[in-house]
Amino acid sequence: MILGIDTSNYTTSLAIIDTKGIILIDSRVSLFVKHGERGLRQSKALFQHMENLPDMVLDLFRRINRERIAAVAVSNKPRPVEGSYMPVFKAGVTYGKVMAASLGVPLFEFSHQEGHLEAIRHDSCISNTSEFVAYHLSGGTTGILHIDKDTYRLIGGSRDLAFGQVLDRVGVALGFQFPSGSELDKIAVKRREIIKKLQLNN
């Protein structure tokens, strides 16, 4: 089994997969953001990750035999480019290093963006494709990427707000909790509800 750890901006995540890539455990805790606010400072997000991880790890070890973990994988930065950095990833990397050393297994580090793209590639028609073009629209990224094996090259994108930031700001303006992506997903096919929300806010 492989243990995966991700401490991105707004979710603390642990997962266990088997050697065939089948997800056995998917554990997530959303970071708390006060209603009406549009995010967290990195220091507060990092603190919440460090608060979440101990209980999540203990719960994980109650559900599996830790001796069956063969490797630990962790996201260490937003994108696989030089200078990409966010403090929140230090929580996951720290726990990943400690757990790998304690269990006597190898540690593999990947960027958060690589995680997004590999998750989609794994369950799609391009699972065995080494070269393709990807559109990555997330909370911190709006990019078009040319991917050739393990090489990622940015070939397009925006320089202002990322796509996910736009969605979150629209969601908060509509009265939803931040981050708002999941709530906007739920109402995307319910145009009448959107219109009512807009009317109430005017």
**What's residue 198's pLDDT?**
67
* Closest C-alpha among 123, 143, 119, 122 to residue 133: 143
Candidates 53, 47, 43, 40; CA nearest to 10 is: 40
Q: What global pTM score does this model have?
A: 0.80
pLDDT > 70 fraction of the chain, expressed in percent and rounded = 94
pLDDT digits (tens, 9 = 90+) for 161-197: 777 788 888 888 888 888 887 788 887 767 666 666 6
Query: Which domains does the chain carry?
Result: 2-116 (3.30.420.40), 131-202 (3.30.420.40)
pLDDT under 70: residue ranges of the chain = 189, 191-202
